[in-house]
Structure 1
Amino acid sequence: MNRQFERRDILKLIGCSAASVGLFNLAGCQQTLSDSKSFAWSSEAQQIKARIKAPEFPELTKSIKDFGAKPGKQNDSSMAIRAAIADVASAGGGTVLVPAGEFYTGPVHLESNINLHIAQGAVLHFYPEPERYKPYVFTRWEGTELMGLSPLIYAFEKTNVAVTGKGILEGGGSHTHWWPWKGKWKEAEWGDHPVENQKFTRDPLREMAENEVPVAQRVFDDNYLRPPFIQPIRCKNVLIEGVTIKNSPFWLVNPVLCENVTVQGIHCESYGPNSDGCDPEACKDVLIQNCIFDTGDDCIAIKSGRNADGRRVGVASENILIENCQMKAGHGGVVIGSEISGGVRNLYVDNCEMSSPDLDRGIRIKTNSIRGGHLKNLNYRNINIGQVKDAIVINFYYEEGDVGKFTPVLEDIRIENLWVEHATRAFSLRGYPHTPITGVTLKNLTFVKVDKDPIIENVANIKQSGISVNGKFVKI
């Protein structure tokens, strides 16, 4: 597969896609050159990238050891970390250093102008003890707002916050802690616990949201909703850089209602239930680059709130760039949804690699007529997929099917220069009879080996050219 990547890089230098050369001839390359002007990468992507700036911090650096932190599980560093953050914040900001060693803590709440730096050789463990994550804070769980358990690393309405470094963040999720709250999951040894089960909190929460109960009143004495790992909410100028994030209770990186977000060079390694890698939710101006995702759920999922709550808040995810990332295991590589009721617009995905026997889907859009969402100007190009089950998936029937009144709207979806070595299926496209999938352009897609026929239901007016499956040009 690496040879194919190198080959496509050479072809890109001369303006040709691997879809037009290799299995066929140079006549296809000439056609690609002449057509590329009409499918040019929007200058808007470059404009978005130019205005996303990572926050900068004063030179002041203080180690958590200066405030009493000691390595070892028996040494709770929670108060020391809290004191270090307060001290540096009171001085105008700077870096709170977690030095080499294994430290243990409860939730960490960032203040404005704070960079939490996990040094190389450092492991910051989070105790998997739910009572530590109280008192409740304002949070979102699967796109619905509530007062819930604190995220492991949390920032609320702050400016200039960061989590950086070459160290490891260890979330403590396992078959004995946090993950069993999921309930029945795959072939896991746990089942549906009659008390400690997220459905007993999730279901009434969603009912509250549908009934427009104020968020401050969405409080549960027994809350079994697993907290996300890193969740800044309503923050400006956010940076997540370099760290390795492991064994999260729930979603790993979940900025919510944030603006100017940079996620770069992180390594997400978590195989538990709902271990999404990076889920920007109702955020504006987001750059995700040079990251590795190896997860138990979606690698990257763009979200904007669920159902009535997403429509109440009414904020889309917009102006998002994803580039030079690697996706391994996961339910999907780059995903839109499923909590997408606020819509998404202006997404650009470029030069990413995906491959794993455990990668279920490459490019995926999932929604339904309860969740709805206006999905506009979504662009994907130069994507190399080694092994995947379903390469391109658009599904209007996700989970609830077609029982609502908020029909999804797709507009200006473009996929160009996609190379897939081996897929079970090239396409799974399922629209509604009353609202077929439209607004999609497919160009220069090569599927070297495909095992099964595509699933195509209620698709209309798809623009397509240069689609090769098992060595033959096809129309879907």
Structure 2
Amino acid sequence: MGLGMGLVLAGVWMGCQQPGVMPSGTESARPWREAAAIVSRVQPPRFPNRTFSITDYGAVADGRTDATEAIRRAIEACAAAGGGRVLVPPGEYLTGPIHLRSGVNLHVAEGAVLRFKTDPDAYLPLVLTRWEGMDCYNYSPLIYAHGQVNVAVTGRGVLDGQAGDDNWWAWKGPGRNRPAQGPNQVAARNRLVAQVAAGVPVEQRRYGPGCYLRPNFIQFYRCRNVWIEGVRIRRSPMWNIHPVLCTNVLVRGVEVISHGPNNDGCNPESCWDVVIEDCVFDTGDDCIAIKSGRNEDGRRLGIPSGNIVVRRCLMRDGHGGVVMGSEISGGCRNVFVEDCRMDSPKLDRVLRFKSNAVRGGVIENVWMRNVRVGRVADAVLQIDFLYEEGAKGPYRPAVRHVRMENVEVEQAARVLDIRTFEGAEIRDVRLVRCRVRGVTRPDRVDGGDVQLVDCEVERAR
């Protein structure tokens, strides 16, 4: 599709009205009513009015004394009492992994800093976790809960993973500021991918020491009523906020500034009823990346992510503002993005879909409106079905029923970057009443039903 100064593209919205499928333009208010319904029912859990300060259990705010056991005792006492708030008061505390229990709100007060150890042995014993969409036993996430109900991390304090190129980030392997030689995750990652493909039982997928698979920062696994609000997250080993197989998830007012490898901001995976609002993401990878399991692990469970609302967020650096994939084998549907701002020469795309013929997955019913973008380094919309493994596989990914409406971009390299292969499905993808300025490169569109409807595209002078 050629681009020119002041080009206005007109078309007809060809939506569908069957249940579960994007409605036509004349019914464009209906999905936003669904978004409002999701927001109304995703509410923070309530906690008893009881406070358990970690300093009462031995924590010392000197940044050097190990507070791990004091925090554990405070959480246990809170849970035994029927729930409440575990308070981290102002000051600096050194800690290992924190495991939350049902009914516990870990409240990190303004002026408090939790600094997490960088010694991998502190994150033993191994726990059941999901690593890049694959279940295994590995180092504990820095903050973790499994099978709990009513759990929260709140407050205006700082969570500092202390990751850097001399510890966790080096495990990624060679890269910017990382050594060309040294122990890294490559062999273990390849082994885990092979185990997933072979159907090796999860109990036999044991990693940890000698494998170099980095832990996530915050991971709630199979939890219900999850609330994360206000905290400032820094220097994560990899993914920052990672709810897995959770329902009723509220992430609000969080600031994530973390630029290491795979430092995604928030990755709901196989989660249902999720609201992410009023957050700031300045990351070394995708700002928000919705997932549902990788390859056979995603298909084995077959649990999509869905009913997800993203609103009033600010995205700065990152590979994509809002992303679906690449671990998306379980599928994704009903995603709503509105009233967000994005702006950075290091933000690559506004809306991004990524999969391939090994991962597959169906992504449908994605709505974006009223998004203001300053600069984006590459495309406004990218659909990449050749990501990593490419077209060599039996599973055909699909993206269908997508609408981007009233998206304004001041500067972008191009509008569309569509990479696909025969047999994959890209259908009913529309940009409606969008305006994109400062375009410097032609679109790449390998195929698929993608149209610009009443849009303005202006090439840079």
Could you say which TM-score interval applies, normalised by the shorter chain?
over 0.9
Q: Does 1:425 align with 2:410?
A: no
After TM superposition, give the deviation of residue 100 of structure 1 in Å: 0.3
Structure 1 residue 451 corresponds to structure 2 residue 440 = yes
SS in 2 for 1:345: strand
Match of 1:46 in 2: 36
> RCO greater where, 1 or 2, for CA within 8 Å and sep 6 or more?
2
Partner of 1:223: 211
CA-to-partner distance for each residue in 1:446-474, whole Å, 9 max, x for gaps?
A: 112101111111123x34311211179xx
Question: Of residues 214, 217, 228 in structure 1, which corresponds to 2:201?
Answer: 214
Match for 2:258 among 262, 270, 282? 270
Question: By how many angstroms is 1:24 displaced?
Answer: 10
TM-superposed CA distance for 1:223, in Å, is 2.6
Deviations 1:39-72 (A, max 9, x none): 3251211221221111110000011000010022
Q: Give the paired residue count.
A: 439
**TM-score, length-normalised on structure 1?**
0.90
* Structure 1 residues 186-201: aligned runs within 5 Å: 187-193=176-182, 196-201=183-188
Determine helix, strand or coil for the equivalent of 1:372.
Answer: coil
Shift of 1:109: 0.1
> Could you give the per-residue CA deviations for residues 75-125 of structure 1, whole angstroms, max 9, x where no partner exists?
000000000000011000000000000001000000000000000000000
* C-alpha deviation, 1:192, in angstroms: 4.0
Q: Percent of counterpart pairs with the same letter?
A: 47
Q: 1:359 aligns with which of 347, 361, 368?
A: 347
SS of aligned partner of 1:103? strand
Q: Paired residue for 1:349?
A: 337
Partner residue of 1:411 out of 376, 397, 400: 400
Out of 288, 312, 318, which is 1:300 matched to? 288
Q: Which residue of 1 aligns with 2:88?
A: 98
Find out whether 1:73 has 2:72 as its counterpart. no
Tell me the residue number matched to 2:457.
469
Q: What secondary structure sits across from 2:203 in the alignment?
A: helix
CA distance in 1 between partners of 2:406 and 2:248 (Å): 29
- Residues 28-427 of structure 1: pairs in structure 2 closer than 5 A: 37-42=26-31, 43-185=33-175, 187-193=176-182, 196-220=183-207, 221-389=209-377, 390-427=379-416
Say if 1:356 and 1:230 are closer, same or farther in 2 by CA, change over 3 A: same
Q: Is the 8 A contact 1:244 1:267 kept in 2?
A: yes
Contact 1:430 1:459 in 2 (8 A): no
Consecutive unaligned residues in structure 2, runs of 5 or more: 1-5, 14-23
Say whether the 8 Å CA contact 2:398–2:425 is kept in structure 1: no
Judge conservation of contact 1:259–1:284 (CA < 8 Å) in 2. Answer: yes
Q: CA deviation at 1:168?
A: 0.2
Q: 1:310 to 1:435 in 2, by over 3 A?
A: closer
The residue identity in structure 1 corresponding to 2:242 is: N
C-alpha separation between the residues in 1 aligned to 2:89 and 2:314?
28
Offset at 1:340?
0.2
Other structure's SS at 1:200 match: helix
Give the 3-state SS of the residue equivalent to 1:201 in structure 2. helix
Q: Secondary structure at 2:44's aligned position in 1?
A: coil
Q: Which amino acid aligns with 1:229?
A: F
Aligned to 2:3: none
Letter in 1 for 2:412: A
- Counterpart position of 2:19: none
Secondary structure of 2:62 counterpart:
coil
Residue by residue, what CA displacement relative to the aligned partner does 1:189-246 show, whole Å, maximum 9, x if unpaired?
42242xx211121111111111111111101352311000000000000000000000
Partners of 2:89 and 2:407 lie apart in 1 by 42
Between the aligned partners of 1:189 and 1:432, the Cα distance in structure 2 is: 35
Which whole-Å CA distance do the structure 1 matches of 2:228 and 2:116 have between them?
A: 18
TM-score between the two structures when normalised by the length of structure 2: 0.92
- TM-superposed CA distance for 1:412, in Å, is 1.1
Q: 1:439: how far off?
A: 2.3
CA contact (8 A) 2:287 2:318 kept: yes
Q: Following the alignment from structure 2 to structure 1, what is the Cα–Cα distance between the partners of residues 180 and 47?
A: 46
CA contact (8 A) 1:180 1:191 kept: no
Output one character per residue of 1:136-171: Cα deviation in whole Å (capped at 9) or x when no partner: 000000000001100000000000000000000000
Match in the other structure for 1:19: none
Residue 10 of structure 1 corresponds to none
CA distance in 2, matches of 1:212, 1:356: 42
Mapped to 1, the partners of 2:7 and 2:199 lie a distance apart of: 58
Q: Are residues 447 and 41 of structure 1, via their aligned partners in 2, closer, same or farther at CA, if it must alter by over 3 Å?
A: farther
The DSSP-based 3-state class of the residue aligned with 2:244 is coil
Unpaired stretches in structure 1, ≥5 consecutive residues = 1-22
The residue type equivalent to 1:406 in the other structure is: Y
Residue equivalent to 1:17: none
RMSD between aligned alpha carbons? Answer: 1.7
Check whether the contact 1:149–1:223 (CA below 8 A) recurs between aligned residues: no
Taking the aligned partners of 1:425 and 1:24, their CA distance within structure 2 comes to 14
CA distance, structure 2, for counterparts of residue 36 and residue 433 of structure 1: 29
What's the counterpart of residue 4 of structure 1? Answer: none
Q: Does structure 1 conserve the Cα–Cα contact (< 8 Å) formed by 2:254 and 2:278? A: yes
- Separation of aligned partners in 2, 1:76 and 1:189: 29
